């Protein structure tokens, strides 16, 4: 907090991101302090801790929920049960905090057949973003050899997603 306060002339917003911030039970307390000090707060989450997320909502200005892939592929990411993710999705869609769902298109995890399934998951969301996968940014070194999709392929995926969400953004 001291660092943020010392930079307050230049910083008016804080993004809380991962690992996974909602794993921390005291996240709402931290966010409360940020809001009391006048900062805008954005939260990036994987959606697997909806109880902490729900307690954090009053102190959040914007939420980005990562939709990693289609539900049946979540087990490949270590999540055998995606029910908490679905709870979070519903909380956001029914709530009043502005949000986006976003998918980083990692070949092998997000392929053409996954796009309509992801579309069904996020149907009628406020905002949806497709993000380019950057192999050098991955913590999993085995992904460093994966060739990202071309912008044209991601644009095609966006065309499919527009059947489900009106506001589709590309980050390529």
Q: Where are the alpha helices (DSSP H) in the chain?
A: 2-6, 27-36, 50-56, 83-94, 114-122, 151-161
The reported pLDDT for the residue numbered 19 is: 87
pLDDT at residue 60 in the model: 98
* Predicted pLDDT of residue 137: 78
Kindly list the structural domains of the chain, giving each domain's residue range(s) and its CATH number in brackets, ordered by start: 2-171 (3.20.20.70)
Q: Are 141 and 126 spatial neighbours (Cβ–Cβ below 8 Å)?
A: no
For residue 138, the model assigns a pLDDT of 80
- Structure confidence at residue 151 (pLDDT): 96
What would the two tokens of residue 163 be?
A: 């059947």
pLDDT at 122: 98
- Residue 142 confidence (pLDDT): 86
Distances (CA, A) of 126 to 101, 119, 132: 8, 13, 20
Question: Under a CB-based contact definition with an 8 Å cutoff, are residues 69 and 109 in contact?
Answer: yes
* pLDDT tens series, the chain, 172 aa: 999 999 999 999 999 998 899 999 999 999 999 999 999 999 999 999 999 999 999 999 999 999 999 999 999 989 989 999 999 999 999 999 999 999 999 999 999 999 999 999 999 999 999 999 999 878 788 898 999 999 999 999 999 999 999 999 999 9
């Amino acid at each position: 907090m001291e660092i943020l306060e010392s930079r307050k002339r230049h910083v008016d917003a804080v993004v809380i991101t991962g690992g996974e911030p909602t794993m921390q039970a005291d996240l709402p307390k931290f966010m409360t302090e940020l809001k009391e000090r006048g900062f805008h707060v954005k939260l990036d989450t994987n959606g697997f801790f909806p109880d902490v997320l729900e307690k954090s909502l009053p102190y959040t200005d914007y939420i980005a929920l990562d939709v990693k892939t289609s539900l049946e592929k979540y087990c490949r990411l270590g999540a055998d049960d995606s029910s908490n993710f679905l709870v979070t999705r519903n909380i956001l869609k029914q709530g009043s905090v502005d949000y986006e769902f976003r998918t980083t298109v990692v070949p092998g995890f997000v392929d053409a057949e996954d796009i309509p399934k992801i579309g069904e998951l996020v149907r009628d969301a406020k905002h949806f973003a497709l993000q380019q996968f950057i192999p050098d940014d991955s913590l999993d070194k085995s992904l460093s050899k994966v060739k990202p999709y071309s912008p044209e392929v991601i644009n095609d995926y966006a065309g499919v997603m527009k059947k489900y969400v009106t506001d589709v953004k590309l980050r390529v």
